[in-house]
A and B are shown apart, each in its own frame.
Chain A
Amino acid sequence: MKIDASELSEIEQDALAEIANMGVSRAASSLRRMVGEQVLLSVPAVNIVSRRAASRMVERGHSPKLVAVQQSFEGPFSGRALLIFPEAQSLELVRSIVGEEHSLEDVIDLEQEALAETGNIILNACLATIANVLRRTMRMSLPSIVRGDGDTLFDVREESNDGLVLFLYIDFTIKNRDVRGFIALLMGLPSIAALKDIVRDFIDGIGRQTAAGHVG
């Protein structure tokens, strides 16, 4: 399913993984402040795959019932950022954030709002870091909650969506809590082309700074 090698050069893949890693590491630091427990991250994966393949990657090892907070982003490249976890764990996540003293009923009442707010903080931390590193501005939509399997999250069933996407993901686990999930970024082909140019500029910029003795 992976055809990344033909679409992205090694240094482009490396750059995207590193930039995503900085974004997600900042996001994990925000989540850590909210839950009061350390957040453990995997190393990032960067692939150009079909939406269906992306969907299978997030379902792997999980129940297919997932819940996601998603936000669209627009700028020189556009796409969606998602905070995804198994549905069974969303209440545990909310409880980690609002505190153990709240009853299950309170937590259920708060769930939707707490998830949206958590997603908003985490995804903004991630995307703002990426935008800053690349020195571009990105606009973000309000967060929305999606429930369903991987195909629902990634709109696999819509006919217009049979193309390939750039799929970056990192999985996270909250220490001492039964909560694990993913942070994923999904971008279509036009954005991949734009992103390749921006990453190329960024890489060239590293060399120029050196040549000119510029302090950046």
Chain B
Amino acid sequence: MQYKALIVDDSKLARMVMASAFRRLGPEWELIEATNADDAIDVIAAQAVDIALIDFNMPGIDGLELVARIRKTHPKMPLAVVSANVQDEIIGRARELNAAFVTKPLTDEALGAFLSGAVLRLKKAAQ
């Protein structure tokens, strides 16, 4: 089963790093990129996205606010907030919104752990 992941980050470099990790860990994933929250909302409204990985510190709407908005229409979609900002409030808010927190600089271990959990949830939801 091919799944579709949305990567939301204003930095092209960060999207490249994420895409590179995906190609190592899960080359079967289809990736879609968005550079800000508004684009991400448009993508999710237009097509069936399975999971999203969302940068926190972006111009305009920040990553946590984007997660909150996605949750209104997609209460169960596996989501991760990706940031070097490991403050309790940020991680705590991500948890409240039922989103994972993946630290930057990104490691394969951290992304791999999130993806494994996400695939389990997607399979369970499909049963």
Q: Map CB proximity to A onto B1-21 as digits: 1 under 8 Å, 0 otherwise.
A: 000000000111110110010
Q: Is A89 an interface residue (CB 8 A)?
A: no
**Which residues in A have their C-beta under 8 angstroms from that of B57?**
21, 25, 41, 43
**Which residues in B have their C-beta under 8 angstroms from that of A215?**
24, 108
Not counting A25-B57, A213-B24, a sample of 4 additional A-B residue pairs whose C-beta atoms are within 8 angstroms of each other reads: A11-B13, A32-B87, A41-B57, A206-B20
Q: Which of A162-198 contact B (CB under 8 A)?
A: none
Task: Say whether B88 contacts A32, CB under 8 Å.
Answer: yes
**Which residues in B have their C-beta under 8 angstroms from that of A18?**
11, 13-14
Q: Could you list which residues of chain B lie within 8 angstroms of chain A, going by C-beta atoms?
A: 10-14, 16-17, 20, 23-24, 56-59, 83-90, 104-105, 108
Report the bound CA distance from A132 to B84 in whole Å: 13
Which of chain B's residues has its CB closest to A24's CB? Answer: B84
Report the bound CA distance from A203 to B12 in whole Å: 10
Give 7 closest A-B pairs by Cβ, nearest first.
Answer: A25-B84, A25-B85, A18-B11, A22-B84, A38-B89, A15-B13, A32-B87
Tell whether A28 pairs with B87 under 8 Å between CB atoms, given A17-B11, A203-B16, A210-B23. Answer: yes
Q: Is A214 an interface residue (CB 8 A)?
A: yes
Report the bound CA distance from A21 to B17 in whole Å: 15
**Which residues in A have their C-beta under 8 angstroms from that of B11?**
14-15, 17-18, 21
Task: Say whether B13 contacts A29, CB under 8 Å.
Answer: no
Chain A contact surface mostly: helix
Task: Say whether B20 contacts A29, CB under 8 Å.
Answer: no
Report the bound CA distance from A193 to B126 in whole Å: 53
Task: Say whether A29 contacts B24, CB under 8 Å.
Answer: no
Tell whether A210 pairs with B13 under 8 Å between CB atoms, given A38-B87, A43-B57, A132-B105. Answer: no
Task: Say whether B12 contacts A14, CB under 8 Å.
Answer: yes
Report the bound CA distance from A18 to B58 in whole Å: 11
Report the bound CA distance from A203 to B84 in whole Å: 19
Ordered by A's residue number, 6 sampled pairs between the chains whose C-beta atoms are within 8 Å are A22-B104, A25-B57, A25-B84, A32-B87, A43-B10, A43-B58
Q: Is A129 an interface residue (CB 8 A)?
A: yes
Q: Map CB proximity to B onto A98-115 as digits: 1 under 8 Å, 0 otherwise.
A: 000000000000000000
Q: Which of A1-39 contact B (CB under 8 A)?
A: 10-11, 14-15, 17-19, 21-23, 25-26, 28-29, 32, 38-39
